[in-house]
Structure 1
Amino acid sequence: MLKQKLIPALNRRNSILVKNSLYLLLVSLAAFLWSCNSSTDDKLPILGQREAVTKTVDGKSVTDSTYQTIPDFKFVSQYGDTVTAKTLDNKIYVADFFFTSCPTICPKMKVQLKRVYEKFKGNPDVMLLSHTIDPAHDSVAVLNEFAKNLGVTGRQWLFVTGDRDKIYDIGQNSYMVTAQADSSAPGGVVHSGAFILVDKAKHIRGIYDGTTEAGVDKLMNDMNRLLAEYTQ
């Protein structure tokens, strides 16, 4: 009987992980193909869906494509204050999803994201934004202690909590990564190990494996490329 209950749950979890892996593979392939055909300005691609928008310019109807952007949000940081999309205005930032009691990939992710934090520490154009996907446990106090234990100070790396459904929604529908409850998963949650690079216009410019040194090396290199776009 236990086996009959476990098999569907494991199959569902494996299906989620496979879908997420396939998505990251497709995103990486799209970025590679874009780079093969890009111009010499070395700009990163803009990822995500595009929408046709018709507007009137000089009395004529013009249709143009606009890329999806990260919508406004309202969460609470490890300091107890409100964090919105405006908090990240005029910044490039790296977003991720984790939870403090995660027994699997989160410790690896935080070691790797700490490398990013140390490399860009003090750069006024860079921020990091970590969303907990277990807000029932990860209170402001828990996040504050977690940040301190990582050696994080100041406001360059914010750890945010809030309504669980809103966090899951922005993860899956805006940042394009998996974040959802699953009682069969370790810790009761399935989530992506991806780090998402977002530009100053709130466009996604890259998705990286946040569990590996190679993936994060690529992220940091692309962050420098993205910063260079704003100095040209």
Structure 2
Amino acid sequence: MSKKTIFLIIFFALLSITFLGYAGFVTMQETGSFFGKEKLPVLGSPGHTIGGFSFTNQEGRTITSKDVTGKIYVSEYFFTTCTGICPRMNRNMEKVYARYKDNPNFLILSHTVDPDHDSVPVLKAYAEKHGADARNWWFLTGPKKELYKLARQGYMLDDGTYTGEEDFVHTQWFALVDGEGRVRGLYEGTKKSDIDKLINDIDRLMNE
């Protein structure tokens, strides 16, 4: 093989590497990741965030929106006397918790929709039943109006329609929230396929 042929091979190889690198850079600029792996979408209207809140967890500690700033977390709504979807949802949430419980940048927020019954002691017993450490899995209670407002206007987990005489939130959806308070995904907490996707999306979000 002549020197000229070797030179041309090297030249075109370097040219190809340069082109691929440039294409990857352009893709990263456009999608936020290299070679086309897109970031998770941001749900809601432009600029939408969860907003401020203040509730009480299973240990009687006040939890506010400041406590979740910079953290990735999953939010859900349930009630301790539920015999329908809630047990299945929280069995699935246990799987999510088991995977990330040792990650200091991850939290789970489980809000009761029945604060009249679900007092701090009731929530503590329920949390213990699910192996939840109050360090990073919070079972929250507070004023019903504020809990429901956050479910609907913040996490977008409920559309506000209901039947019967009394307003009630009963939703199977989980919300994935980033460190800036933005909703990055909604998942059916009763479905294994959605739980698998949630875990995959948490990994992606942690690597953004």
TM-score bracket for this pair, using the shorter chain length: 0.7 to 0.9
**Corresponding residue for residue 40 of structure 2:** 44
Q: In structure 1, what residue type is equivalent to 2:39? A: K
After TM superposition, the structure 1 = structure 2 runs for residues 76-115 of structure 1, keeping only pairs within 5 Å, are 76-115=56-95
1:194 and 1:207 in contact (8 A); partners too: yes
2:115 and 2:142 in contact (8 A); partners too: yes
Larger radius of gyration: 2
Identity of aligned residues (%): 41
Instruction: Tell me which of 145, 153, 176 is aligned to 2:156.
Output: 176
Q: CA deviation at 1:191?
A: 1.4
SS in structure 2 opposite 1:191?
coil
Q: CA deviation at 1:156?
A: 0.8
**Corresponding residue for residue 131 of structure 2:** 151
SS in structure 2 opposite 1:130?
strand
Distance in structure 2 (CA, Å) of the matches to 1:124 and 1:164: 29
Question: Structure 1 pair 177/154, CA: closer, same or farther in 2 (3 Å)?
Answer: closer
**Corresponding residue for residue 196 of structure 2:** 217
**Corresponding residue for residue 191 of structure 1:** 170
Gaps of at least 5 residues in structure 2 are 1-29
Distance in structure 2 (CA, Å) of the matches to 1:137 and 1:199: 31
Distance in structure 1 (CA, Å) of the matches to 2:160 and 2:92: 22
**Corresponding residue for residue 9 of structure 1:** none
SS in structure 2 opposite 1:116?
helix
Distance in structure 1 (CA, Å) of the matches to 2:129 and 2:142: 21
Distance in structure 1 (CA, Å) of the matches to 2:67 and 2:190: 27
**Structure with the bigger percentage of strand:** 1
Deviations 1:147-166 (A, max 9, x none): 01111124110000000011
Q: In structure 1, what residue type is equivalent to 2:133? A: T
SS in structure 1 opposite 2:146?
helix
Deviations 1:38-77 (A, max 9, x none): 5614210100012xxxxxxxxxxxxxxxx21111100000
TM-score (norm. length: structure 1): 0.71
Gaps of at least 5 residues in structure 1 are 1-36, 51-66
SS in structure 2 opposite 1:197?
strand
Is residue 207 of structure 1 aligned with residue 186 of structure 2?
Answer: yes
Deviations 1:62-114 (A, max 9, x none): xxxxx211111000000001000111121100000000001210001000000
Question: Structure 1 pair 180/155, CA: closer, same or farther in 2 (3 Å)?
Answer: farther
Q: In structure 1, what residue type is equivalent to 2:125? A: E
**Corresponding residue for residue 15 of structure 1:** none
Q: In structure 2, what residue type is equivalent to 1:213? A: K
Structure 1 vs Structure 2 CA RMSD: 2.0
Q: CA deviation at 1:178?
A: 1.7
**How many matched pairs?**
175
Give 4+ residue runs of structure 1 displaced > 6 Å after superposition: none
